[in-house]
Chain A
Amino acid sequence: MGHPPAYDGPAIAVSDLRMRYGDKDVLTGLDLEIEPGGVTALLGPNGAGKTTTIEILEGFRGRSDGEVSVLGVDPARGDEAWRARLGVVLQEWRDNGKWKVRDIVGHFAEYYRPYTEPWGAGELLEMVGLTAQAGQRIQTLSGGQRRRLDVALGIIGKPSLLFLDEPTTGFDPHARREFHELIHRLTDLDGTTILLTTHDLDEAEKLAERIVILAGGRIIADGSPDQLARAAATTAEVKWIQEGQLQIHATEDATDFVRKLLATDDGKVTELEIHRASLEDAYLELVAKFEAGQAATAVDTFLAKLWLASFAKREATR
């Protein structure tokens, strides 16, 4: 937007990023490239390393190993001009509580003046829907209003790249929906690339054009919501009762399987069900296993669900 187009490569380029705290590996070789423009969601269970990743990209945290470039600059060596092209919205911010909304927006814009023409306080507050609160002290804002102010402060310098870390944690459904509408408005501002982290698949599907799933310290799936949904749904589960026993079969071509099944069963098959796995099923299973501490198994299972056409052909009986 307000910045000279000095750099036209990818907004974010990460290869083999590793992060280790003590003897605990949080990131184990993360590769990611994000082209300018659009919304990308970094999705993953709590503790998957999303915040660590985003903090490394923001230049707030060093890394153990790997190549990182954000807007063409290594975040570990980013200067103030680079900083001016980034917007950062953290999970939870309670700073400057005694300031008035109008004062903080007006003052923070000052910092960007040497680099760009920042948003005026009036138009910015209108965009995030806080015009009526302009004269209030920040600590009197509701949680949703506060986060919208954080977004306003994040985009105040018309950044090329905006980071949103778990932006709707702790929101009620109404605040959440208002926030989603705000993000949609932001995507209309041309040229701003948005990277958001979330542990909520539904939110990622609603907001992002591209979903990158992070688990076990690396990227395990990457694609549009649609692509991921189709990948997850390639296998279907067929269940039926035959001779008093429950039969389950996983197949890629449920129609063909059922046609053959019914053609040869002599009328013994009853209670036939076909269940097509959704992305949600696959993801929730990943999260459940991850939280139970079986990170490695969780990732493997998820990958199997997503990508393996030859989903284990079990014809289990219970």
Chain B
Amino acid sequence: MSTNTLHEYRTGWKRALIQTKISLTSPGDLLGFLMPTAIAVVVLLFMQKADFEGAPVSLGSMNMPSLIGMNVVFGGIMGMVGSLAMDRTNGTLLRAKSMPGGMTGYLVGHLASTAIFTTIMALVLLLVGLPLFDGLEFDSPDRWLIFISVLLMGIVATLPIGAVLGALLDNPRNMGLVMFPIMGMVAISGIFYPITALPTWLQGIGQAFPMYWMGLGMRHALLPDSMAAVEIGGEWRTVTMFAVLAVWAVVSMALAPRLLRRMSRRESGSAVAARRADMQRDW
């Protein structure tokens, strides 16, 4: 790696720190994340009164770890898609293109700041969830290790997926094209109800996507071992979980650079202006 490339990565990292500072001090950014999460937590609190087929912990406590897993996937994908789409409309991306090494700095900055933001939010959820939900276990180093590795694996898998989708999506008004499939993914991934309650063919589809495995991994980290009985096959399937997430990471990492380069190449002032005019027409 040349010294200039190294410099670009370092500059990108600095960008990530500034962006994180901005996200954490912008009420809009924070509320956009905290509101839906807070609502979900409240719903789960009510679900503490419900049990699933005599499982040792309540449905609410069962879903709390799944919610953390879901948030990592959601934050990783939508964080990247949202910023890539918005930044093409307001010219941030074009600005990056106009500076030496700017594109690398921009991408490294966004990947890193999305990763930082997602991590912070997962930790916040964990700290809020542990005292509120009965039956969660997080008192041994092997649980910490599982939590951290699932979190990292989830970030590594979802950021490039977000980059790929963000590069393909050329206009923020098409965000729904990404948003709705992810919502659908939540429904079939056993986040708010055990996946085993679904018909087998839907279980199959759900298991093809990272959302299910992130939920499973987080349940593994936080629920009593006896809860594995509720899962498919009655076990945590740790190796399969890491393998599936790794496949998603590798495939999207292979696709992302090419698509991002294509996106960058097509960027120009008139392209930005046209996109903006297009959006204004719709509003």
- CB contact under 8 A between A80 and B18, given known A60-B269, A61-B268, A93-B91: no
Seen from chain B, the residues whose Cβ lies within 8 Å of a Cβ on chain A are: 3-4, 7-8, 11, 14-15, 18, 22, 26, 87, 90-95, 97-102, 105, 267-270, 272-273, 276
Is the C-beta of A140 less than 8 angstroms from some C-beta in chain B? no
A-B contact pairs, 15 of them (CB 8 A): A60-B94, A61-B270, A80-B100, A80-B101, A83-B98, A84-B100, A90-B91, A93-B95, A95-B87, A95-B92, A96-B92, A98-B22, A107-B15, A108-B99, A112-B100
Is the C-beta of A69 less than 8 angstroms from some C-beta in chain B? no
Knowing that A110-B105, A111-B105 touch, tell me 18 more A-B residue pairs with CB under 8 angstroms: A55-B269, A80-B101, A83-B98, A84-B99, A86-B98, A88-B98, A90-B94, A92-B276, A93-B95, A95-B87, A95-B90, A98-B22, A99-B22, A107-B15, A111-B99, A112-B100, A115-B100, A157-B100
Give chain A residues whose Cβ lies under 8 Å from the Cβ of B267: 60
CB distance from B14 to the nearest CB of A (A): 6
Which of chain B's residues has its CB closest to A103's CB? B18
Is the C-beta of A131 less than 8 angstroms from some C-beta in chain B? no
Smallest CB-CB A-B distances: 4 pairs: A95-B92, A84-B100, A60-B268, A80-B100
Contact B22 A51, beta carbon cutoff 8 Å: no
Number of A residues, CB within 8 Å of B: 34
Give chain A residues whose Cβ lies under 8 Å from the Cβ of B269: 51, 55, 60, 90-91, 165
Contact A111 B101, beta carbon cutoff 8 Å: yes
Please pick, from B18, B87, B273, the residue contacting A99 in the complex, using a CB distance under 8 A: B18
Q: Is the interface of B mostly helix, strand, loop or mixed?
A: helix
Contact A114 B270, beta carbon cutoff 8 Å: no
CB distance from B72 to the nearest CB of A (A): 24
Give chain A residues whose Cβ lies under 8 Å from the Cβ of B272: 90
CB distance from A40 to the nearest CB of B (A): 19
A118 vs B91: C-alpha distance when bound (angstroms): 22
- CB contact under 8 A between A114 and B92, given known A90-B269, A91-B273: no
Contact A94 B14, beta carbon cutoff 8 Å: no
Residue of B8, B22, B99, B270 most packed against chain A (CB within 10 A): B99
A311 vs B270: C-alpha distance when bound (angstroms): 39
Contact A97 B105, beta carbon cutoff 8 Å: no
Give chain B residues whose Cβ lies under 8 Å from the Cβ of A58: 98
Give chain B residues whose Cβ lies under 8 Å from the Cβ of A80: 4, 100-101
Is the C-beta of A194 less than 8 angstroms from some C-beta in chain B? no
